Amino acid sequence: MSVGNEQITAVIQRFAAAVTEHRRLLTRLDSAIGDADHGENMHRGMRAALERLDGDTPAALLKSVSMALISKVGGAAGPLYGTGFLRASKAVEGKDTLETDDVIAALDAAFEGVKQRGKSERGQKTMLDALGPAIDAARDAAAEGADLSETLRRAAQAADQGKRDTVGVQAQKGRASYLGKRSIGHQDPGATSTAMLIACMTGEDQLITAAAEDASAKEPESGPGVE
């Protein structure tokens, strides 16, 4: 299986639908440790991306998404996602279809772009905490001979775990970092939307739904009366 314009268009459409469907969750997560706008930001950005979605190559399509996100979304996430999509676009320039290695290269380029633009790294409670584990898992899967579908499925599972793991971490970047230790115990909104994006690459509804869950809401509370 390889990925062409049709599949990339479908991923973008699925992601736009997912952020719209789950925008309240994303905003609620951001209300706990930010300024309660991540859902609206992503919804607005992906609406614009759908309107402008244009191009006859994977690179052109990804670039059109990037431009929409950069121009339509204020705040941190728009330019960061926009940079990610732009770098992914550059990584696949000149290709009509993408094989597993090309997809991993695109994800890796996106990771480096966000890292550079955000002056951030893994472990700081950001979208990189979903994207980084996804890339590791994709590389491992590909090295074991997995096909693209299986590689993406494993990437999505790792992104979901990475998102869950942000709950216990203290934020060191963005608005959430202003809360210091009080950011612990909440799931990062950007890591959540990134886990959703990777899940959308698989096209599996079950993985998309899982990505859009708040793991912190499910943690059993300790204390008197709780078994």
By Cβ distance, which residue is nearest to Mg ion? 34
Distance separating alpha carbons of residues 76 and 83, to the nearest angstrom:
11
Are 19 and 27 within 8 A, CB to CB? no
Q: Which stretch binds ligand ADP (CB under 6 A): 13-21, 96-104, 114-122, 152-160?
A: 114-122
Closest separation between CB of residue 146 and ligand ADP, Å? 28
Which residue of this chain has its Cβ atom nearest to ligand ADP in the complex?
190
User: What CA–CA distances, in Å, run from 24 to 19, 66, 214?
Assistant: 9, 23, 12
User: Smallest gap, in angstroms, from Cβ of residue 56 to ligand ADP?
Assistant: 31
Q: Which of 46, 88, 128, 199 binds ligand ADP (CB under 6 A)?
A: 128
DSSP element (H, E) containing 132: helix 128-143
**Rounded alpha-carbon distances, angstroms, from residue 218 to 164, 185, 186, 214:** 11, 11, 11, 7
CB of 72 to ligand ADP, least distance (A): 12
Window 48 to 77, contacts with ligand ADP (CB under 6 A)? 75-77
Q: What is residue 3's three-state secondary structure?
A: strand
Are 21 and 203 in contact, with CB atoms under 8 Å apart? Answer: no
- Containing 191, the helix (H) or strand (E) segment is helix 189-202
Contact flags string 30-49 toward Mg ion, x per CB under 5 A: x---xx-xx-----------
Helices (H), ranges, 34-124: 38-52, 58-72, 77-91, 100-118
Q: How many CB atoms neighbour CB 28 within 10 A?
A: 17
Q: If contact means CB under 5 to 8 A according to the sort of partner, which of Mg ion, ligand ADP, none does residue 126 touch?
A: ligand ADP
By CB under 5 A, the count of residues binding Mg ion is: 5
Q: CB-wise, 92 or 127, nearer to ligand ADP?
A: 127
> Per rule CB under 5 A, is residue 188 in the interface with Mg ion?
no
Q: For residues 131-170, which are near ligand ADP according to CB under 6 A?
A: none
Where on the chain is the footprint of ligand ADP (CB under 6 A)? 30, 34-35, 37-38, 41, 75-77, 80, 114, 118-120, 126-128, 173-175, 188-191
